[in-house]
A = this chain, B = another copy of it.
Amino acid sequence: MEDKRSSIIAAAAEVIDKWGSQFTMDMVAQQAGVAKGTVYLYFASKQDLLLSMIMEGLQELEQGLKDAVVGCKDAGGKLAAIVTAHYQMVISKAPLFIKLVSQDPMLFREARPEILPYLKGIEGVYADVLKQGVQEGCFGGINPEITGIILLTLVHNAAASCSIFRPDLSAEAVLEQVHTLIFQGINAAPQLAFKNLLQEGKTCKV
């Protein structure tokens, strides 16, 4: 049944959450409540299991980002929604997502061909919104594709790093700063002035 396959993946996620990359197939089997041999009926190898998890995780993430933009019209709103959703998904699934990007590099080097489409899919979500923003004129000075990757990386690692290394920082505070950085950069002050100026409907004489 597909049920068993899913329950093994769920068990693996829990085990990885607890043991990191030190997890063993025994742990997975025990957590899933099946025999070791059974795991091998559904996954050809440990690496296959890991790859399956990564791919499912990335798919889920992509879907989550796509769901987040539903109902948003303007590019800015979409990007904000994506960033927030992405950040929260990483926070809630930190251990797994850390694996996704920072798992043993050898795995990625060898597995890239299989994983790449999924990564591209997520990059695409970011890139599409950025392109829309550029076309709409509200984003500028950026290369949508490259900045998409950077944002993806930024959000992902800000969430992961902070949740691991800085448990003292509140997730909300970090997220807020991420938004500020993304939307206004470091030079927020003059820009805010400019924004206020625009909001007040006053013209800007040249």
**Residues of A in contact with B (beta carbons under 8 Å apart):** 19-22, 76, 79, 95, 98, 101-102, 104-106, 108-109, 112, 119, 130, 133, 137-143, 146-147, 149-151, 153-154, 156-158, 161-162, 164-166, 169, 173-174, 177-178, 180-195, 197-198, 200, 202-206
A106 near B189 (CB under 8 angstroms)? no
Instruction: Specify which of B105, B143, B153, B197 is in contact with A157 (CB 8 Å cutoff).
Output: B153
Distance in Å: Cβ of A144 to nearest Cβ of chain B: 10
Q: A22: which B residues are within 8 A, CB to CB?
A: 104, 106
Number of this chain's copies in the complex: 4
A147 contacts B186, C-beta separation under 8 Å: yes
> Main SS of chain A's interface residues?
helix
CA distance A141 to B95 in the complex (A): 31
